[in-house]
Amino acid sequence: MTTRPRASRLAGGHRRIRVSFEFFPPATEEMEKTLWESIERLKPLAPDFVSVTYGAGGSTRERTHATVKRILAETPLTPAAHLTCVAATRAEIDAIVDNYARAGVRHIVALRGDPPQGPGARFVPHPEGYRNAADLVAGIRRRGDFEITVSAYPEKHPDSPTVEADIDMLKAKVDAGARRAITQFFFENDLYFRYLDRVRARGIDIPIVPGILPVQNFKAMIGFAARCGASVPAWLAERFQGLDDDPATRKLIAAAVAAEQVFDLVDRGVTTFHFYTMNRADLVYAICHLLGLRPALPEAA
C-alpha cells in the first residue's frame, strides 16, 4: 500500500509560499564575489524582499549602504536595509534614513542593535540617540512612509527579563509603526507557535514571519545561538555529531533538518519564511525548491 504525501509536501502544494532572504555586507573581495553569486542564484525565485544586515555597533554601516544601493541599481530585487540605533545620534540616523529615501529604498528593518563592546555588554543608548527599537521605528516613521520590519524573539531577547517584557517591546514597536516582525532563528517549531499565541493574545496582529537558519556551520551556529538566546536542542547536536571533517555529509544533514522544519511549519499553516542565508545560496535554494518555488520562465516571443 502506498501513502500519498500531504498537499503541503508536494511541490507547491495548494498554497502560495512567500520568502525573503537575508544577506550581510562583504568585508573582502572574495566575500563580495560569494555574496553576489548567491544573490544571482536566489534572484530568480522572486523573493518578497532581500535584507542587508548591520554589524555589531553599526560597524558595517557604509558597506551595508553600498550593498543595498548596488542591489537597487543592478537587480530587480526589493532591498530592505537594516538600521540600528547603536552609537549614533538621532540626527545621524535621520540623515541615513533620508539618504535611503533619496536612493529609492522604501523598506527598513529597524533594530536596537548590539553594543560595540560585543556579546554580554550592557546596551547604553547614545545620549543624543534613539533609546530603543520602538523609538527608532517612530523616528523612521516621522521621516517618511517606509515599510518597517522589526525583530521578534520566540525565546525572548537576551536583554529582556521575561518573555512578557519582550512582548511589551514588540507591542511598542508595532504601536510606533512596524508592519511586520521576523523572528530570531529557532529549531523547535512549538516555540514559535507558543510565542505566536502569546503575541496574538496581546492584540498584536502584524505578520510574525519565522526566521529559518539552514545550518551551514554547526560550530558557528552554536556561537550565534549563544549570543541571541536561541536554544539548540540535543537532537540537533546529535545529527551533526562526528561531521566536523565531513562537509559533504554535513550539507546533506543541514538540508534535511531545514526541510523538515519548514515542511512542519507549512503543514501547520505557515506560508511565509525569512531565510538567514549566511551569504550562501545552495541550501536555501534547495529548500525553496522543495517548497515548490521555481524560477520564472521567460515569456515566449
Active-site annotation, residues? 22
H-helix or E-strand spanning residue 194: helix 189-201
Q: What DSSP state is assigned to residue 58?
A: G
Q: Read off the C-alpha cell for 245.
A: 571533517
> What is residue 228's three-state secondary structure?
helix
| Residue 111 contacts residue 133 (beta carbons within 8 Å) | yes
Burial 240-271 (b: 16+ CB within 10 A, else e): beebeeeeeebbebbbebbbebbbebbeeebe
Longest CA–CA separation in the chain, Å:
69
Q: What is the DSSP letter of 23?
A: E
Amino acid at 293: L
Distance, in Å, from the CA atom of 279 to the CA atom of 275, rounded to the nearest integer, reads: 10
DSSP state for residue 298 in the 8-state scheme: P
- Write out the E strands in 86-146: 107-111
Instruction: Please check whether residue 272 is in contact with residue 209, taking contact to mean a CB–CB distance below 8 angstroms.
Output: yes
